[in-house]
Structure 1
């Protein structure tokens, strides 16, 4: 088989300039008109490279074959074996853009950063009943077998596709929606930084994607080395053999790749800037996390330092105008909202979204940030590193680092975060129909736990084929098809 036989092709082989008609619906009219500063039409015309991210079907609204069932009532619904339930294929794509009234100058941001003691949780960002309900369902299904987890996920058939792990297909879904690998200058190599990227699924996808249209990509990666869990270490040897492995692995001055260490953060940024003529990379991605199976309600608190260090590392290596994609979890705590507010100030626009290939039962989501306003803001980096030092010495003494009044003064920001907590759906009346998509998925999983003989509700293979076409991945093929 030739190098390109297993790659997606069509009548126009130049992937970046090919616009497709998608079955994924655009943002709702409610989202489009909520804020003139981040309306759909403005972003759609921002640049030709971004037009792909809103692939608009020929008729607006949700087609009949994509109607959404109310999962909480699914047990009582009568369905025939030949008529699987409808699947919600909507994806959040509406960006939030900071208006001039609330936009701070980059040089003024460090003055806002002051560590503050934690306060009693006031459920400002997420209603208490929603938090309690989610945590109760998490505890209820914490020992769910893998079979039950698979049956309740309509997108479970996607798995890892042709790549080394599932992380790659998450990035593929995000790329298809947000045009992450599009560049303005096709004559230059596409550059990226993979932060906390081991074993390398994100890097493998990015190298493969650029290779698929005949381009050149160069990546730089850092991840913590582990003696006990080899699966989290870099495994570039597992990348597809028909692509050039242009990934430079950087372990930092102490050789550990540990981003909690300031020297490793600065060392990574110094190396990347040196290799890119001090310009930085086009795209920075961060997918760090821990194994929280059975303890998911602790994710947000435990990962807050990791998320902060990923953001700082991004600031040391991303070029001005570049794009940042970072995995986050719940947004219940003030500290998390503070970090998102910093990104909101740093970039032209941000979008909190959940790719279809991310399990609906977990709180994982991604923030996509486009248009970094300033390259290598040293004073801000230093200020954020001081917060990291505080988390190392006295993590229990740190509850926030941006005044609540600053956040509350920006109604658009507050509403955007709260809406993301209430519902993932972008359909106009979803708030009246669903409490949370995650809770619905957990409830559905619970049904499969108690009825293990129940067949899957969804035609996962049909859904997989649809997504592969949408994301321009081979419909047929596996991770073993390397020649």
Structure 2
């Protein structure tokens, strides 16, 4: 429209124009996003670029408070570090695994490629960087690294603040909050039957028995504990009818004979119309999970625990286990075999684990297929490994597994997420060690205690008595 110079214009002198309120759907800018020098009225007129006088500077307490707020990491109670892999094949797919195209074990010869990082599962450069940072920390003691990590981890005080006082118990409580592998069966209104495969200090059983005791009807709940080392003195105690049957194996869980004896013991009790247990929870061997050496290939432990789980679980049961590595073809093949037997598999990193480790937990929900062939196949490989006749390289065809696009993409996402978190934590430890020495016996900060109390409240876990 052309401009009409004769048309009257609104000015500030016009009362109607001057008194019209301005409204907008756009919110005004937040003061939090403005530079701090503008937010500080004392420095507003200082444009010289020189140092301010002592009277014009903000109080030291305000400076310290601002610095602490910047250093606080975000707290994520819902655990976004979680990947879910759904089984799109259906229960009948397990039958196809027995065909030669799938089941041929190329590990009859020592193929090192099966135990090396594959670029389809994780960025090799990321893992090389993680290894390089670990090497730079080799001059520091593990205790010193653990102290610095605890100082920087916002979730470090969760274990100390919990009344369970067991890392395995608190970890299972966190997983139960996210995916409800325990609460699902307790809320079903029938007695819970579970198997605990070597959790430290019977921690998993401790949490399960505590959770069951909170329910109104917990009669008949029973558990079996596979113990291949020293036993907790209170492990065999029972809370009313919540009994824990201790199985002291003559050998380790890697011994096929011990596996057969334990399976026979559990099945002999649960074949009274129950057709197996509801839940199997498992930890790795007796190595210290806080050590960098724990991130070695723990294929044997996972294979043995999987064999037991598949042989004692009832249809619809759940399997929970810990893993420290999922970046090689062999580990991916093992996870693929497991996931074909369940409705879905979730890979989650627990906040109880130190961020400098690659520790993760796998929750396999609802057994839908007949796992007898997979269990027999894995037991055959374990038997050869136990007799030193085989170094595991492949369990099934890696060509076939790598062609499963949805499975590989989700596993890649999980590995990259956990790897980046681990690298960030390791770099932070290196930077902290380079600046100052950690003090011995330093307690947790008030912020860490606050985070711990918030986690325990949301996860519905008991707090430690003061």
Q: Distance in 2 between matches of 1:417 and 1:97?
A: 12
Query: Which of 129, 132, 139 is the equivalent residue of 1:136?
Result: 132
- 1:143-162 equivalences under 5 Å are 143-144=141-142, 145=144, 146-159=146-159, 161-162=162-163
Name the SS for the 1:442 alignment partner.
Answer: helix
Q: Distance in 1 between matches of 2:332 and 2:355?
A: 22
Which residue pairs with 2:231 in the alignment? 234
Q: Work out whether residues 354 and 366 of structure 1, in 8 Å CA contact, stay in contact via their aligned partners in 2.
A: yes
Q: Distance in 1 between matches of 2:384 and 2:80?
A: 37
Which residue pairs with 2:459 in the alignment? 471
Q: Work out whether residues 343 and 368 of structure 2, in 8 Å CA contact, stay in contact via their aligned partners in 1.
A: yes
Q: Distance in 1 between matches of 2:353 and 2:291?
A: 18
Q: Distance in 2 between matches of 1:165 and 1:184?
A: 21
Shift, 1:93, TM fit:
4.1
Based on CA coordinates, which of the two structures has the bigger radius of gyration? Answer: 2
TM-score of the pair, normalised by structure 2: 0.74
Shift, 1:91, TM fit:
3.2
- 1:29-428 equivalences under 5 Å are 79-81=66-68, 84-89=71-76, 90-100=79-89, 105-111=93-99, 112-116=102-106, 117-120=110-113, 121=116, 123-124=118-119, 125-142=121-138, 143-144=141-142, 145=144, 146-159=146-159, 161-181=162-182, 182-183=184-185, 186-216=188-218, 217-225=221-229, 233-237=230-234, 246-251=243-248, 255-256=249-250, 258-276=252-270, 277=272, 279-291=275-287, 296=292, 299-301=295-297, 303-374=298-369, 377-394=371-388, 397-424=391-418
Instruction: Show CA shifts across 1:304-343 (max 9, x none).
Output: 1111101001111111111111100121221111110011
Query: Which of 452, 467, 482 is the equivalent residue of 2:437?
Result: 452
Aligned in 2, Cα 1:476/1:79: closer, same or farther, shift over 3 Å?
same
Instruction: Show CA shifts across 1:322-377 (max 9, x none).
Output: 111110012122111111001111101001111111111111100110011235x3
Shift, 1:245, TM fit:
5.5
Q: Work out whether residues 292 and 299 of structure 1, in 8 Å CA contact, stay in contact via their aligned partners in 2.
A: no
Aligned length: 380
Q: Distance in 2 between matches of 1:147 and 1:183?
A: 38
Give the RMSD, CA atoms, in angstroms. 2.9
Shift, 1:240, TM fit:
8.9
Structure 2: gaps (5+ residues): 1-31, 33-63
Aligned in 2, Cα 1:241/1:273: closer, same or farther, shift over 3 Å?
closer
Aligned in 2, Cα 1:348/1:392: closer, same or farther, shift over 3 Å?
same
Which residue pairs with 1:30 in the alignment? none
Shift, 1:158, TM fit:
1.0
Name the SS for the 1:466 alignment partner.
Answer: helix
Q: Distance in 1 between matches of 2:429 and 2:283?
A: 25
Name the SS for the 1:159 alignment partner.
Answer: helix
Q: Distance in 2 between matches of 1:395 and 1:294?
A: 31
Aligned in 2, Cα 1:343/1:378: closer, same or farther, shift over 3 Å?
closer
Name the SS for the 1:475 alignment partner.
Answer: coil
Q: Work out whether residues 159 and 166 of structure 1, in 8 Å CA contact, stay in contact via their aligned partners in 2.
A: yes
Q: Distance in 1 between matches of 2:382 and 2:291?
A: 24
Shift, 1:92, TM fit:
3.4
Shift, 1:151, TM fit:
0.9
Shift, 1:401, TM fit:
1.5
Q: Work out whether residues 92 and 353 of structure 1, in 8 Å CA contact, stay in contact via their aligned partners in 2.
A: yes
Which residue pairs with 1:440 in the alignment? 424
Structure 1: gaps (5+ residues): 1-64, 66-76, 226-232, 425-434, 479-483
TM-score of the pair, normalised by structure 1: 0.72
Q: Distance in 1 between matches of 2:176 and 2:117?
A: 36
After TM superposition, the structure 1 stretch with the greater mean CA deviation from structure 2, 83-92 or 384-393, is 83-92
Name the SS for the 2:280 alignment partner.
Answer: strand
Aligned in 2, Cα 1:238/1:82: closer, same or farther, shift over 3 Å?
farther
